[in-house]
Structure 1
């Protein structure tokens, strides 16, 4: 060979070589090909399935006017199907529910609660946020011209509260302290561990230098590997004028972080979990704006107060029977070509549905989950005035689990809505067994351990336990690995002329995105019978 070939030692060298010779654009494309910068091509739009063109318009009945049912009904209607959307309750939306002044929250077996919020205010009792990853939800927001505003899942200035029952003490740290002091302490271990394990000697020299720089930049350690707080974790004495240099908060020790289990009570590391990473959104005027838009587009396809009790299928079609839920005592019967059921298993197991044993077994085996929200109107925005908390979430090991701060109306003088509890799992189950008025008072007492101002500033409290809401009976379904392997791929298939949709039939349970994606899966089958 007349010329000597130089072998690059690192990916960084390779990228630099490509950029120098072919330009930055080619270098970026190489980086993408290597998996370093994936581009999302999915726009969240429904699949490109043609409309009916042969005049054979199928009759499709959809049971349940939640997000999955509404979206599927709209896409089928626009492609030429004859669609009837049945809803057992008196409203559309399912778990997408926004409560406004004068409206009622009716839990089964408990007295109704009337919303007494100030005029123009509302409480998102169901979905509170939309992820930027949830492109299908955003597709319909864009299509219907729904205005969005940021939802601050992450606020480094919010709190992490730890109640110590042994001594009845309350410990408070800022979110930023847990993050940056935690990174610092881990970086100390990594720095010293890499030295003692000779890790740096096993790396090329440039990567060993990069490792040190990474630990110093992100972990805040000095050249000796000791963590030095530099203000990222907050200031004990604030910075100010020429004489006010400020003083960083004392760093949490590794023993404190570990001993207090400061990563607990936010078990999925929200807002670091993929579906809760910034940017997140909420719909201006209430998250039920999506429901209203879909409902308006469907018009008279929707039949409210229609409870389905029995579904039978044969080679000629599907017959369903039911009765009106408005106390009229009337019954109804419908025939159709295909039917899609979007209700959750706690509802399905009480219906007579002509499907295989695997489906029926799954409906009985999948347990419901529990979730409780308690919200209160505060006369003064004390979290802003007293603590400098603007939006976001505080986490606690108390049964209330989370406190949500409003993401709008900053600095307003007439107060704001505080979500005092968002409790799930065993805490949600326990709180849901308590009458709503007592539940509100209990949560107010617990939340006051974190914010004592709540007792004097509360003017109205309200609550919802989703496991107590008729025709829903569960906030979401949680697929355990065992149940997933046993049932998921079976019951998300169509059984002849019957199919199921909803977030529980997707890989995004508990999210509206999952509901829409499951609806997308059934468009072609509902139109043409092709699975």
Structure 2
């Protein structure tokens, strides 16, 4: 049988499958027959300018995934309409400035009262240098970036009852003690089965250098951990501070924070947009010509048996009911909200959407004079554990009179307990921790603003807890539900950071959107195989 005859046979087969089982069955058959290519989520799909000619797409949700979808589809010739329930775009990409309103379910509305020029990134606040997808849009959209100082060795880790320790001392004293222990083990022959004589001859000098050990291979302290006396004029010689006790180091509840910079997503260099994270959103707004409908709360989704989509929404300003019809939909609405919207998805899809619980995350910011800079802290974080998590120092506006100090950033079970507390109590707890880190400066903290993401309308959480559905951690999520929602369902596609391996990062939203756009374009290109 020739290629032409094989093509006709496949076409007839797929037409019959499509006629009896709908597009979903035909789509699965095309995948099984290898007629559709694999979709990558690492770069924008290379789509012809007329790839979507005559096709309409409605994008539900105006976060980063929705904006990437609208931007790319528009450039591929699709007719695009984006619906966003809020009056602002960006989703979790949200920057608070003087006059901003923070509405939370069950709480009084807060009005931000920061000093001129100060801002707080209520959601994402840093971009790793290897998040090339997001950075590529910053370049395309002319969004200026600056370095985000993600770590300062002058900052601290602290815990109630364990005290405060400067990060540089925690890191370098721990390294010194462990180097000494390993050197002793090597010298005593404890590792002779694992190391050759040549290995030992190379390892011991390295350990002496790595841990800054004395000639007898003991750790007696190091200038790397800080100076009791800095070098000065004439005979003012540098003198290292006394080392912390090894027992105190390894017993400190926050000792794990010394590994913070080793996390692949926390390694230098980090970036932030000049003027706030929402400068990225503003870049997309400038670049997208398609309708971006704000205040549009989706109330009903119909996929009409694979014959296109019909979306009903409420205009939140007027209360009027409206409707949009399209050939396809890209749905970026968070799963916890999507589960509440009337839809005609298959029951297994509905169950998958409803099955994933949301996580919790909180931030509290204060307007304050830059007292931390007097302790040589310029950016970076102090780790305090508990319900408030950490204190994050601003990277921008160094040496200016005032800065926005993030006195709480916590996620997970402890954040859930914290969010249940009254807002004044949350503020008091954050203020207390700053006072323990920087004694005497509690009163310098003014104009607090609290963001409990579990209470933010149209989010009700920062990201889903995929780890409870399969996979151990970020980068390794996998479950039947996760895979199901990453597949097209007739003309409906789901996308968003919550359907990526990095749900807490904007890069996840970019990758998910790009993968979805490629899949949708492939469906448009190949649908003729089913007679659709």
- Under a length normalisation based on structure 1, what TM-score does the superposition of the two structures give? 0.85
- Separation of aligned partners in 1, 2:188 and 2:343: 65
Q: 1:51 aligns to what SS in structure 2?
A: coil
- CA shift, 1:376, in A, is 0.6
Is contact 1:98-1:124 (8 Å) kept?
yes
Corresponding residue number in structure 1 for 2:129: 132
- Deviation of 1:452 after TM superposition, in Å, equals 3.0
> How has the CA–CA distance of structure 1 residues 439 and 299 changed in structure 2, closer, same or farther, with 3 Å as cutoff?
farther
Q: 1:356-382, CA deviations, whole angstroms, 9 ceiling, x for partnerless residues? A: 33332222221111111111111x211
Alignment of 1:457-468 (within 5 A): 457-468=444-455
1:48 matches 2:38: no
* Distance (whole Å) between structure 1 residues aligned to residue 370 and residue 440 of structure 2: 10
Distance 1:56 1:152, change over 3 A: closer
Using a 3 Å threshold, how does the CA distance of structure 1 residues 481 and 206 change in structure 2: closer, same or farther? farther
Partners of 1:383 and 1:524 in 2: how far apart?
A: 48
Query: Which of the numbers 408, 412, 415 marks the counterpart of 1:425?
Result: 412
Identify the residue that residue 399 of structure 1 maps to in structure 2.
387
Name the counterpart of 1:287.
277
The 1:214/1:359 distance shift into structure 2, 3 A limit, reads: farther
- Pair 1:381-2:370 in alignment: yes
Mapped pair 1:273 → 2:273: no
RMSD, matched Cα: 2.2
1:89 aligns to what?
86
Q: Distance in 2 between matches of 1:222 and 1:451?
A: 34
Moved more, 302-311 or 281-290: 302-311
| Cα pair 1:176 1:232 within 8 Å, conserved | yes
Question: Could you tell me which residue of structure 2 aligns to residue 57 of structure 1?
Answer: 54
Displacement of 1:82 in angstroms is 0.7
In structure 2, distance between residues paired with 1:330 and 1:304: 13
Alignment equivalent of 1:179, drawn from 152, 171, 188? 171
Shift of 1:135: 0.5
What is the Cα deviation at residue 223 of structure 1?
4.8
Aligned partner of 2:8 in structure 1 is none
Do the aligned partners of 1:317 and 1:497 also contact (CA within 8 Å) in 2?
A: yes
Deviations 1:297-328 (A, max 9, x none): 113421111111221211321122221222x2
Return the alpha-carbon distance in structure 2 between the equivalents of residues 86 and 348 of structure 1.
14
CA contact (8 A) 1:163 1:397 kept: no
Q: Does the Cα contact within 8 Å between 2:105 and 2:457 map onto a contact in 1?
A: yes
Query: Could you tell me how far apart the structure 2 residues matched to 1:253 and 1:520 are?
Result: 51
Q: Does 1:76 align with 2:73?
A: yes
Aligned mate of 1:322, from 296, 313, 318: 313
How many residues are aligned here?
Answer: 478
1:472 aligns with 2:466: no
Query: Which of 233, 237, 248 is residue 245 of structure 1 equivalent to?
Result: 237
The residue number in structure 2 matching 1:189 is: 181
Deviation at 1:205, TM superposition (A): 4.5
Query: Which residues in structure 2 correspond to 1:190-209 (within 5 Å)?
Result: 190-199=182-191, 202-209=194-201
Structure 2, unaligned stretches of length 5 or more?
1-39, 471-477, 527-532
The TM-score with structure 2 as length reference comes to 0.85
From 509, 514, 517, give the equivalent of 2:511.
517
Counterpart CA distance in 2 for 1:381 and 1:336 is 52
Distance of 1:466 and 1:263 partners within structure 2: 28
How far is 1:199 from its partner? 3.0
- In 2, the alpha carbon distance for the partners of 1:151 and 1:74 equals 27
Q: Which of 520, 528, 531 is the aligned partner of 1:526?
A: 520
Q: What is the CA–CA distance in structure 2 between the aligned matches of 1:485 and 1:226, rounded to whole Å?
A: 50
**Cross-structure match for 1:21:** none
Cα offsets for 1:448-499 (capped at 9, x unmatched): 2222333221231111111111001111123216433342222211112111
CA separation of 1:62 and 1:247: change in aligned 2, threshold 3 A: same
Structure 1 residue 206 displacement after superposition: 4.1
CA distance in 2, matches of 1:122, 1:202: 54
- Displacement of 1:403 after TM fit? 0.6
Deviation at 1:162, TM superposition (A): 1.6
Contact 1:398 1:446 in 2 (8 A): no
Verify the 8 A CA contact 1:319 1:335 in the aligned structure 2.
yes
Give structure 1 stretches of 5+ with no counterpart.
1-41, 165-169
SS in 1 for 2:225: coil
Indicate if the aligned counterparts of 2:364 and 2:450 stay in contact, CA closer than 8 A: yes
Instruction: Identify the match of residue 308 of structure 1 among 298, 312, 330.
Output: 298
* In structure 2, distance between residues paired with 1:200 and 1:235: 38
2:398 counterpart residue number? 410
User: Partners in 1 of 2:246 and 2:428 — Cα distance?
Assistant: 37
Partner Cα separation in structure 2 for residue 345 and residue 417 of structure 1: 32
Kept after mapping to 2: 8 A contact 1:52/1:527 = no
Distance change (3 Å), C-alpha of 1:151 and 1:364: same
Q: Give the whole-Å Cα distance in 2 for the aligned partners of 1:415 and 1:143.
A: 33
Alpha-carbon offset, residue 61 of structure 1: 0.8
Q: After superposing the two structures, state which structure 1 stretch, 494-503 or 90-99, moved more.
A: 494-503
